[in-house]
């Protein structure tokens, strides 16, 4: 009788834990989508998509989407080791606010402008490095 009771308790705890993990993962993916991470990856792969022949583009985009979804799932797992579910819920609240929506909408623009600033900085740093390499 004790074994049966223990087994039932274990099964209930395991299912409760799985449900919590599934909700956490779902919220993490929601946060990542709201924060513009998927659109950033889509922007980064746009040039690749543009180079695929039109006859093969639809199939490629389907596989790319599956690949990006796998990437997002892996990244969600990684984020879940760094943040609590309560923190992720707070992130979601922010990204659903007007300020959060604006920040998310500007993700690609900020990335492109930041990349240009970083390249300019890198070019300037190259001169400093060369000065000390002589």
Question: For residue range 38-97, what is the model confidence (pLDDT) as tens digits?
Answer: 888 888 888 888 889 999 989 999 998 899 999 999 999 999 999 999 999 999 999 999
Cβ neighbors of 36 (< 8 A, separation 6 or more) are 103, 104, 105, 107, 108
The mean pLDDT of the chain is 85
Domain boundary assignment for the chain: 2-104
Contact 28, 76 (CB under 8 A): yes
- Assess whether pLDDT exceeds 50 at residue 114: yes
The predicted model scores a pTM of 0.69
């Amino acid at each position: 009788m004790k074994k049966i009771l223990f087994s039932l308790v274990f099964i209930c705890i395991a299912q409760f834990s799985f449900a919590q993990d599934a909700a956490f993962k779902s919220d993490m993916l929601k946060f990542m989508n709201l924060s513009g991470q998927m659109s950033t990856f889509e922007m980064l792969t746009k040039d690749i998509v543009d180079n695929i022949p039109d006859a093969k583009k639809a199939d490629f985009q389907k596989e790319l989407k599956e690949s990006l979804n796998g990437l997002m799932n892996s990244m969600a797992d990684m984020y879940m080791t760094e943040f609590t579910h309560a923190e992720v819920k707070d992130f979601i609240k922010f990204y659903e606010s007007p300020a959060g929506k604006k920040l998310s909408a500007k993700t690609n623009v900020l990335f492109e402008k930041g990349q240009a600033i970083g390249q300019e900085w890198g070019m300037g740093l190259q001169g400093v490095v060369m000065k000390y390499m002589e």
